[in-house]
Amino acid sequence: MTIALDTNYYNQNFDEQLSQEELLFFKQELEKQKEKIQKNLDKKINELNNYDEAKDEADHATIAIDNLTSNTILKEQQKTLIKIQRSLNKIALGTYGICTLCEEKINIERLKIQMFSEYCVSCRNELDNRR
C-alpha cells in the first residue's frame, strides 16, 4: 500500500514538471538567443567606441542621433540578456517554468512563445492591470 501511494505521488509530481527534453529544448533556445544578442551587443559597443574618429561637426550631429537610438536598443538588449540569464539560472536550479509570484506552473505553450516569462498568465494579467 505504501508503495502504491509513493508511486502515485511521484507520478503526480513528475507530471507537474517540464520533462528533461522540454528543459533541454528551452535551454538550447535560450543559449542561442543569448549568443545572438551577445554578438550584437559586442558589435554595437565596438561601433560606439569608434565614434571618436568622426571628423567634422556634421558627422558628430549624425552620430549623436545614431548613438541615442543605439543606446535605446542596447539597453533593451541588455535587459533581454539579463532575462535570458535568469531563465538559464532557473533551469539549472530546477525552478524554470514556475511562476515567480504564485509558484504555479507556467503553461508550456506560453513559455514557447515567451521563453523568459517569469509569471503565469493570471499573474501577468494582474500585473498589467495594475499599471
Q: Which is nearer to Zn ion, 21 or 109 (CB)?
A: 109
Q: Which is nearer to Zn ion, 73 or 102 (CB)?
A: 102
Which residues in the 56-115 window bind Zn ion by CB under 5 A?
99, 101-102, 104
Q: How far is the CB of 122 from Zn ion (least distance, A)?
A: 6
Q: How far is the CB of 27 from Zn ion (least distance, A)?
A: 22
Distance of alpha carbon 96 from alpha carbon 87, whole angstroms: 6
Site membership for Zn ion, residue 123 (CB under 5 A): yes
Q: Which is nearer to Zn ion, 37 or 99 (CB)?
A: 99
Contact yes or no for 91/26 (Cβ under 8 A): yes
Binding region for Zn ion (CB under 5 A) out of 21-29, 45-53, 57-65, 119-127: 119-127
Q: Which is nearer to Zn ion, 84 or 120 (CB)?
A: 120
Q: How far is the CB of 94 from Zn ion (least distance, A)?
A: 18
Q: How far is the CB of 14 from Zn ion (least distance, A)?
A: 21
SS (H, E, C) the chain: CHHHHHHHHHHHHHHHCCCHHHHHHHHHHHHHHHHHHHHHHHHHHHHHHHHHHCCCHHHHHHHHHHHHHHHHHHHHHHHHHHHHHHHHHHHHHCCCCECCCCCCECCHHHHHHCCCCCCCHHHHHHHHHHC
Residue 98, beta-bridge partner list: 105
By CB under 5 A, name the binding residues for Zn ion.
Answer: 99, 101-102, 104, 120, 123
